[in-house]
Amino acid sequence: MSELVFFSGTMDCGKSTLALQIGHNRSARGLRGVIFTRDDRAGEGKLSSRLGLVTDAVEAVGGMDVYAYVVDVITRGGRVDYVIVDEAQFLLHEQIDQLARIVDDLDLDVYAFGITTDFRTRLFPGSQRLIELADRIEALQVEALCWCGARATHNARTVDGVMVVEGAQVVVGDVSDVDRPDGEVGYEVLCRRHHRRRATAATANVGALSPDVLPVPPA
């Protein structure tokens, strides 16, 4: 039976790479799919990985009915054997419901890839709905690492290297945005301990040079 599968994890755990691999494997066997994405780092209508791989995709903008889009492709004589959705955390609740309908009514597999929680450790709306509806949830096997070497479990947003815990939920670090805070926006994966302490790689390096953090006072 067809399934709605949610592949989840932190940044840097290979979600987009796996999405591209699944698409490649099925394409090599003569299957055809529809690929959706939202706010990819490579720009609108692109699915890309940090390894430099990229392919064209359909931008699932707010208000788009993804179920109706797939039905329209089929109605026009197109072939659809599966659906891939990257950056699924950015989709709306109703769009996740539409993905479930693609599985149930059209009998197609849907593979959704996304980050579970935001920089405040709160569930993204799309990820929350996927957890509620998915037939299967898969944790990505490639472990992202915190700067300390521990397994990274949390995503952090930084502004000029300093971790922030307030602001709009969605701010893409490499594009201009009206909601973007002043300063250079970046993202980093951290273990829970260092996320709680707001200790990024940059601030940890600064702290390592400070005598205030030494276990004993210098002679």
* pLDDT(184) > 90: no
Sign of the dihedral defined by the CA atoms of residues 197, 184, 152, 38, in that order: positive
The class of domain 1-142 in CATH terms is alpha beta
Among 35-44, 51-60, 80-89, 117-126, top mean pLDDT goes to 80-89
Paired strand residues for 151: 145
pLDDT on residue 9: 80
Paired strand residues for 157: 164, 187
pLDDT-derived band at 182 (thresholds 50, 70, 90) equals low
Averaged pLDDT for residues 102-113: 97
Averaged pLDDT for residues 122-133: 94
Average pLDDT, the chain: 83
Q: Quick check: is 188 catalytic?
A: no
CA 190 remoteness from chain centre: 16
Averaged pLDDT for residues 142-166: 84
* pTM for this prediction: 0.73
- Given 3, 44, 59, 87, which residue is catalytic? 87
Query: Strand pairing of 46-48 and 54-56?
Result: antiparallel
Q: Indicate where the chain has its CATH 3.40.50.300 domain(s).
A: 1-142
Among 16-20, 94-98, 118-122, 169-173, top mean pLDDT goes to 94-98
d(CA 52, CA 66): 27
pLDDT on residue 208: 46
User: Is residue 52 within 8 Å of 84, Cβ to Cβ?
Assistant: no
User: Is residue 157 within 8 Å of 171, Cβ to Cβ?
Assistant: yes
CA angle at residue 177 from 201 to 85, to 5 degrees? 80
Q: 173-195 burial string, b = 16+ CB within 10 Å, else e?
A: eeeeeeebeeeebbbbbbbeebb
* pLDDT(76) > 90: yes
